[in-house]
Structure 1
Amino acid sequence: MLSDQPNFTEETVIASEQRFRALVTATSDIIYRMSPNWQEMRQLYGRGFLTDTDETIADWIPKYIYELDRPKVEAAINEAISEKKIFQLEHRVLQADGSIGWTLSRAVPILNKQGEIIEWFGTASDITETKRTEEALRTSKEQSEQQKRLYETITNNTPDLMYVFDLNYNFIYANNALLTMWGKTWENAVGKGLLDNGYEPWHAEMHEREIDLVKTTKQPIRGEVSFPHAVLGTRIYDYIFTPVINQDGEVEAVAGTTRDITEIKESEMRKNDFIGMVSHELKTPLTSLSAYLQLVESESGKDNQALREKAIAQSIKKTKRMTNMINGFLNLSRLESNKLFIEKAPFDIAELIADIEEETRILYSTHKFNFDSFESVTVNADRGKISQVIINLINNAVKYAEKGSKIQVSCFQMGENVQVRVKDEGRGIMEGELPKLFERFYRGQNNKLIAGFGIGLYLCSEIIKGHGGEIGVESTVGIGSTFYFTLPV
């Protein structure tokens, strides 16, 4: 803005002040006047937001400008002076009450005929509430983004399937686990319905009815269902649908969580089979024992020594069988209650296997045993429990190998460990079953007709692990299996 007066006169100053006061009266903004170089503030009417001044002051920056914003205010002033352009800046100020506020300040240079700046005339608006609102929104957005990242991290790193339906039965969210189960990406799965994502009609209709029920009752609903996993095949899932309630108390979506319970179901089935087998297996030797005892009783007055001896021998055999089974159950119970104590002491494992060889040849005349010769090796272990492991592996070899076939027992030192191996010429084990053999209650698919509870190898595994060793199996279908374990020397 050009001025006709090259220099200030009393008249021009009075006129300027009159215009200033008139503007102050007509506006709600803060009004101020600055010297050409902004070194002095000539006048400021703060409207209660800033402290008024009717006198020229030189130290206005410390009085009015917030300390951290002073560099950018000074930089903007210097730029405006240099280019003789309008000064405009949002910055923080020290309010009349001493608190920190925000202002949007604009100042226009007043120029004389020579184009020199003779004064700056400015206005400032109180934008404190606006800036606080913006800051609150920014903070809220950051928190929302942080929560979103947190939720996505949780939902995308859990094995559970997590998803959300809209009220038209379409998926509006699906986590990574669900997308993997479908074998789909977000782009070709989210926004689509149940049928589009591979659900059979009966399955889709069932879930739609459940979603309707959740919408109506505003209560969760739970169920179980099978579904073909894109990689793992058909699995069994437990799911729960939960209403998402808006601020008006209405259901705006239905959230779902699904968990793969296939292993749990299989474990329950194995446990039920186990209970059934226990009842049967304990009943069988008890029945035989009762029959032999009745036979001995009936022959007590007769001279039939051979029959009595046979009956007594069979009774002892059945009693031993029941004792072994009961001991197995007790060990399982102790293991599950963390009371399976391992009492270590040094002993020669070669002597232990020699004792087991003698007993084995007496008990099992149906197979050909080959106990390899091996040197004495001292281990620090629980002799009784290691004996139990070796006998169990031999019993399994006898149970699953054909009569007359060879069973080989070997023991040798491998560096800081000793390894015991029991090799048979049985039917072998399918590769897919090998990782499950040492699980509790697990029995191979081809072994259902052979008596057993699925706890022997599990107990062996836990005993060896308790000694800091390893247990494993090598097997080829139709050729045989080798079970082995290692112990630290």
Structure 2
Amino acid sequence: MLDALVRSSSEVRYRISADWSRLYQLSGGDFLADTTSADSDWVETYIPREDRAALRAEIERAIRTRTTYSLEHRVHLADGSVGWASSRAVPVLDEHGRITEWYGAATDITERKQAEAATRDLTVSLGRQVADRTAELRLYGDIIQSSAAPICAFDTEYRLIAFNQAHSDEFYRIFGRRVQIGEVFPDLFPPDQAPVMRGFMTRALAGETYTVTEEFGDPDLAKPAWEVSYSPLRDADGRVIGAFHFAKDISDRLRAETELASTQEALRQAQKMEAVGQLTGGLAHDFNNLLAGISGSLELMQTRLAQGRFKDVERYMATAQGAAKRAAALTHRLLAFSRRQTLDPRPTDVTRLVRDMQDMIQRTVGPGITFEVVGGDDAWPALVDPSQLENALLNLCINARDAMPDGGCITVETANEAMDARTARRHDVPEGEYVRLSVTDTGTGMAPEVIARVFEPFFTTKPIGEGTGLGLSMIYGFAQQSGGQVRIASAVGEGTTVSIYLPRHDGAVPGEDDAGAAPPLPRSAQGETVLVVDDEPTVRMLVTDILEDLGYTAIEAGDSAAGLRVLQSDVRIDLLVTDVGLPGGMNGRQMAEAARETRPDLKVLLITGYAETAILGGDKLGPGMAVLTKPFAIETMAARIRSIIEAGRERERRP
């Protein structure tokens, strides 16, 4: 120990104990130092250079404040090595507040510091001594402190440097052994798991903080699932000196989630089957009504013709055609719901379309409903399929009528909507300009849980057999396929507003067609031959009769193999009209492409009851190929055939 320091005059005489005399090889007795300054000669003599500044600063503080100084610092030992001392001294003041004496002691803490250094070398694998105790405090404060979660830390050589009791207990429970400080952590795992764990630890040692889910344990037993978090352990200078490993057993949670997912999947399957049942019932009801109208009209036509009573035939024909068109509209609703219908977008004056339908809608909803069109005189045109928009508008008005069993008012409004980025995100559409078509009723409205499901497949609030639940689904699919969106606002007892947003068309809109007789159907030039390939005899017969009435020579084939034989012969073929779904080893498009190997200029019209996207599979049709969806009007098919042939001739005439 360093004995009391006694002041005499301007000097301080250090009285040295025998232990310190032997340690520093002093001659015994005392040595002198100036207590009025921190620049004491003993600091220069006995303190290593790197600790002098800190010691002087502490002595100056004690002299300035007249308080005790205390500091751990290194000292030069007699054998030439460096040791550690803990110095403390208390000042004695006179009546004027001046320091007259210092009483203190210095304790040799070299062994303790050496032990700490050895421990630190093991725990942090540093090649240098840490300037302060930040890493130690983090290590022992975050890990060794009591925690129910398994926590440990390892150094840059993957050696365990600390772990809590929970980690030790869990490791023993899973692997049947206790972990020890200094063991290489990843090597403690089974051979099939050790590389995985080492990979996780390597990422943390590279400075990454992350969480993973992993199963580990005895390979012969059930492996519990763990959510393991890693974060780097850094020293005071920010260097990575190891990493933390924090584990949480989530086996029960994963089992619960798996059971929940299984239950939800079973529920979805049940809902799906219920929806299919609803769809089947609704479609059967609708199609039976339509088939009754068609077959009944045809039977009455046959009876009247046999009786020679021709006056009613035209009326029955109109009835059958109307039922057939409604059946076609129903299939279009199915395709629109699946977003696979073939659209024909054209520049459309939406306001004009609404006003043109006003009388028809009023007759449809009945006299108990007031129908009005407001605004929209300055509404932009939209790029949309007008026939599908008419169908959507009619569906919305019928839904509005059904929501007002005691009567009410339906208001249709068209308006312009310029959506900035924020508004577009809210409506789930690209930023830009849109035309809004809104249908508002004063009916019963809908509860939030109903609004959340109105666009779902087959969802309907109508009794089974009275609706397919495809109306709003069709509108939703049609709007999205057109590049727009549909939104609904409703409250119970306050009515409903459904708004369709359609992209603006920046250009002119063709005027209304001149009234008058329908133009004559385009006829064939002399000698033009069309090959018709379809596996349905009635369709093949009808198409052939249409072609022959228009002056074409028609050749029939019932499958792709027979059609390809004709195409590979030397028979003149000006156009191939083929169904897409064909027996015979290839579909209609494949047959056409095979035929183009020997007839590269072959013109093709694909007819199908499916959607164009189902035919193309995301591809575009090549030159001289077009699609016509069933059912089609005679004039539509005649015009399409003529346009394809003429377009082909025009290409052939080009140099």
The two structures have a TM-score, normalised by structure 1, of: 0.51
Report deviation, 1:22.
2.9
Amino acid at match of 1:410: V
Equivalent of residue 123 in structure 1, options 83, 108, 129: 108
Q: Equivalent residue of 1:74, what SS?
A: helix
Q: Deviations over 1:346-385 (max 9, x none)?
A: x433211122224435666686563346562332423435
> Is 1:139 matched with 2:138?
yes
> Is 1:22 matched with 2:22?
yes
Report deviation, 1:59.
7.4
Q: Equivalent residue of 2:253, what SS?
A: strand
Higher relative contact order (CA 8 A, sep 6+): 1
Where does residue 354 of structure 1 map in the other structure? 355
Number of equivalenced pairs: 350
Report deviation, 1:89.
1.6
Where does residue 207 of structure 2 map in the other structure? none
Amino acid at match of 1:431: A
The change in CA–CA distance for 1:102 and 1:469 in structure 2 (over 3 A counts) is: farther
Amino acid at match of 2:410: Q
Taking the aligned partners of 2:91 and 2:449, their CA distance within structure 1 comes to 92
Where does residue 70 of structure 2 map in the other structure? 88
> Is 1:408 matched with 2:410?
yes
Where does residue 162 of structure 2 map in the other structure? none
Taking the aligned partners of 2:408 and 2:106, their CA distance within structure 1 comes to 110
Would the aligned equivalents of 1:35 and 1:120 in 2 still touch at CA under 8 Å?
A: no
Taking the aligned partners of 2:250 and 2:498, their CA distance within structure 1 comes to 56
Q: Deviations over 1:197-224 (max 9, x none)?
A: xxxxxxxxxxxxxxxxxxx97467xxxx
Amino acid at match of 1:429: G
Structure 2: give runs of 5+ residues left out of the alignment.
93-98, 124-132, 148-219, 229-247, 419-433, 505-655
Where does residue 105 of structure 1 map in the other structure? 86
Where does residue 391 of structure 1 map in the other structure? 394
Q: Deviations over 1:115-146 (max 9, x none)?
A: 7579986634352653746644422367669x
Q: Equivalent residue of 1:471, what SS?
A: strand
Would the aligned equivalents of 2:68 and 2:89 in 1 still touch at CA under 8 Å?
A: yes
The change in CA–CA distance for 1:400 and 1:120 in structure 2 (over 3 A counts) is: closer
Equivalent of residue 447 in structure 2, options 418, 431, 447: 431
Taking the aligned partners of 1:253 and 1:383, their CA distance within structure 2 comes to 52
CA RMSD of aligned residues (A): 5.7
Would the aligned equivalents of 1:90 and 1:105 in 2 still touch at CA under 8 Å?
A: yes
> Is 1:376 matched with 2:380?
no
Any residues of structure 2 matched to 1:4-403 within 5 Å, and which? 20-23=20-23, 35-37=33-35, 39-40=39-40, 58=44, 63-65=49-51, 70-71=53-54, 73-78=55-60, 88-90=70-72, 103=84, 105-106=86-87, 123-125=108-110, 127=113, 130=116, 132=120, 135-140=134-139, 218=222, 255-256=252-253, 270-288=271-289, 290=291, 295=296, 296=298, 300=302, 302-303=306-307, 305=310, 312-334=317-339, 345=347, 347-360=348-361, 370-372=371-373, 376-384=377-385, 386-402=389-405
Amino acid at match of 1:77: I
Structure 1: give runs of 5+ residues left out of the alignment.
26-31, 43-56, 96-100, 149-215, 221-241, 246-250
The change in CA–CA distance for 1:377 and 1:487 in structure 2 (over 3 A counts) is: farther
Would the aligned equivalents of 2:442 and 2:495 in 1 still touch at CA under 8 Å?
A: yes
Report deviation, 1:396.
1.5
Taking the aligned partners of 1:140 and 1:354, their CA distance within structure 2 comes to 78
Q: Equivalent residue of 1:276, what SS?
A: helix
- Counting aligned pairs with the same residue, the percent is 15
Taking the aligned partners of 2:407 and 2:473, their CA distance within structure 1 comes to 26
Would the aligned equivalents of 1:368 and 1:406 in 2 still touch at CA under 8 Å?
A: yes
The change in CA–CA distance for 1:255 and 1:90 in structure 2 (over 3 A counts) is: farther
Would the aligned equivalents of 2:476 and 2:485 in 1 still touch at CA under 8 Å?
A: no
Where does residue 452 of structure 1 map in the other structure? 467
Amino acid at match of 1:352: L
The change in CA–CA distance for 1:274 and 1:91 in structure 2 (over 3 A counts) is: farther
Would the aligned equivalents of 1:92 and 1:102 in 2 still touch at CA under 8 Å?
A: yes
Amino acid at match of 2:326: R
Amino acid at match of 2:57: A
Q: Equivalent residue of 2:466, what SS?
A: coil
Taking the aligned partners of 2:400 and 2:330, their CA distance within structure 1 comes to 17
Amino acid at match of 1:63: R
Report deviation, 1:440.
1.6
Amino acid at match of 2:487: I
The change in CA–CA distance for 1:313 and 1:425 in structure 2 (over 3 A counts) is: farther
The change in CA–CA distance for 1:60 and 1:359 in structure 2 (over 3 A counts) is: farther
Would the aligned equivalents of 1:40 and 1:60 in 2 still touch at CA under 8 Å?
A: no
Taking the aligned partners of 1:461 and 1:305, their CA distance within structure 2 comes to 45
Would the aligned equivalents of 1:371 and 1:408 in 2 still touch at CA under 8 Å?
A: yes
Taking the aligned partners of 2:301 and 2:478, their CA distance within structure 1 comes to 45
Q: Equivalent residue of 1:376, what SS?
A: coil
The change in CA–CA distance for 1:461 and 1:359 in structure 2 (over 3 A counts) is: same
Amino acid at match of 2:87: R
